[in-house]
């Protein structure tokens, strides 16, 4: 990966973003605080989690990922967009994004992840399909 490539692990409870040469650059909860009156996102990640149970009724905490898949497309896109902007500040070159998803998800669920990343404005490299029983060691290049 070049310096403008990042990897995202979309977890049900945590989103992790890593960059080559830097390692893990972001580790945030998968939660969004939303003002239901204005339909706007107030905070995401740690700040949104800190608001849970301490806000008026019109501010709700939304967990957009359930069982490793996207349950709220709009909020997932918002999470990805905010977190990538937080760790990648260049306005000239957009990073290529590789997203980690559970192996057992369906094609439709996989397409939803791709759609969320692309809708957030980031580029996905060509996907790598690994055959069953293939062996890939950490640190090795994938053919």
Q: Mind listing the pLDDT tens digit of every residue in the chain (143 residues)?
A: 456 788 888 888 999 999 878 889 999 999 999 999 999 999 999 999 999 888 899 999 999 988 878 888 888 888 888 888 888 877 677 777 888 877 778 888 888 888 888 877 776 655 544 333 344 443 434 44
The confidence score (pLDDT) of residue 96 equals 79
**pTM here?**
0.77
Q: DSSP letter string over the chain?
A: --TTEEEEEE-SSEEEEEETTTEEEEEEES-EEEETTTTEEEEETHHHHHHTTSS-TTEEEE--EETTEES-HHHHHHHHHHHHHHH---SSSPPEEEEE--TT--HHHHHHHHHHHHHTT-B-PPP-PPPTT----TTSPP-
Q: How far is CA 28 from CA 10, 44, 91, in A?
A: 10, 8, 23
Per-residue pLDDT, 131: 37
pLDDT for the residue numbered 136: 40
Q: How far apart are CA 143 and CA 22, in angstroms?
A: 24
Looking at residue 117, what is its pLDDT? 80
pLDDT of residue 3: 60
């Amino acid at each position: 990966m070049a310096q403008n490539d990042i990897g995202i692990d979309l977890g049900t409870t945590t989103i992790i973003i890593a960059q080559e040469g830097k390692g893990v650059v972001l580790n945030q909860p998968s939660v969004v605080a939303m003002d239901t009156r204005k339909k706007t996102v107030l905070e995401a990640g740690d700040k949104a989690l800190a608001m849970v149970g301490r806000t008026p009724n019109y501010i709700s905490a939304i967990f957009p990922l359930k069982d490793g898949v996207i349950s709220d497309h709009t909020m997932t896109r918002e999470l990805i967009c905010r977190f990538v902007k937080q760790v990648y500040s260049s306005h000239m070159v957009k990073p290529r994004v590789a997203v980690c998803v559970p192996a057992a998800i369906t094609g439709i669920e996989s397409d939803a992840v791709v759609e969320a990343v692309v809708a957030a404005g980031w580029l996905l490299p060509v996907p790598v399909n690994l055959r069953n029983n293939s062996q890939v060691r950490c640190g090795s290049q994938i053919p």
